[in-house]
Amino acid sequence: MQGPVPVTIMHISSQMMHPKMPWCSTGTTPKADRPNSHHDHAGGNEGILKQFGKLSVIGGKDCAHVTQTPEHGEKFKIGERITVTALHTPCHTQDSICYFAEDGNERVVFTGDTLFIGGCGRFFEGNATEMHKALNEVLASLPDDTRVYPGHEYTKSNVKFCSTVSQSEAVKKLEEFANNNQQTQGKFTIGDEKLHNVFMRVTDPEIQKVVGATEPVEVMNRLRGMKNKM
């Protein structure tokens, strides 16, 4: 990835990152037959290693320069205070991992291309069954006050789609916030996503009526198909 990597390295350098602190990567590098590149997530690994030398690079098995791929539910520490739990969420890519981090009473989750504010990733290497599990079983089980940090700022386009499916107050509030704020990462929680993200409302009769299905996986499949056509 050109451009952002040096900026990232400069920022980490200015924060005096400890040389033994692990570096987590939420994306994957492209396989020969993969239609889309995920260098926007993992492309900086090489630059980080060049800058800091030997580090533990934690990420999915297909990420470049990864030294450790944690098991689902495996925990590790960043520094002395932060506990991170790896959550396997295969679908967008099969090696997708989200990272749930806790520091005292503060909780955040880094969701890569799996969960966006008001949306979810395309099913590039998976299917609706996997995305339903990732969103509505794995991530939905996190505490409601967990702040969400996706891999991209797609909220405006996501809420535009949500508003075609649901006119709930939660969707309207998200639309207003997105229209007035350029950045939404970390501004919403898992609890919020359960209210305004239609991909996490697959058992909601309002959503089921619009898509014409009631079985949750089929609702997920139809929602993604509708979003892909926008």
User: What is the model's pLDDT at position 44?
Assistant: 73
For the chain, give the percent of residues with pLDDT over 70.
81
Do 167 and 96 lie in a common domain?
Answer: yes
Q: Kindly state whether residues 82 and 187 are assigned to the same domain.
A: yes
Q: What is the CATH number of the domain that holds 93?
A: 3.60.15.10
Does residue 169 sit in the same domain as residue 115? yes
Percent of the chain at pLDDT > 90 equals 70
Instruction: Please give the model's pTM, rounded to 2 decimal places.
Output: 0.83
Q: Are residues 92 and 119 in the same domain?
A: yes
On whether both 85 and 156 belong to a single domain, the answer is yes
Tell me the per-residue pLDDT of 60-86, one tens digit each, with 9 for 90 and over: 888 778 888 999 999 999 999 999 999
Range 193-221 average pLDDT? 99
Instruction: Based on the fold, state whether residues 179 and 216 are members of the same structural domain.
Output: yes
Whether residue 150 sits in one domain with residue 96: yes
Same domain, 85 and 164: yes
Show Cβ contacts of residue 86 under 8 Å, excluding neighbours closer than 6 positions.
Answer: 58, 70, 71, 72, 73, 74, 75, 76, 97, 98, 99
Q: What is the pLDDT of residue 65?
A: 83
Q: Is the dihedral of CA 164, 167, 170, 174 positive or negative?
A: positive
Find where tokens 């993200």 sit.
197
Domain hosting 179: range is 72-228
Domain count, the chain: 2
| pLDDT at res. 36 | 31
Q: Does the structure show a pLDDT above 80 at 199?
A: yes
Q: How confident is the model at residue 144 (pLDDT cuts 50, 70, 90)?
A: very high
| Mean model confidence pLDDT for the chain | 86
Q: Which residue has the higher pLDDT, 54 or 195?
A: 195
Q: Please check whether residue 143 lies inside any domain of the structure.
A: yes
List CB contacts of 200: < 8 A, sequence separation 6 or more.
135, 136, 140, 193, 194
Q: Is residue 19 part of a domain?
A: no
Assess whether pLDDT exceeds 80 at residue 43. Answer: no
Residue 78 domain flag: yes
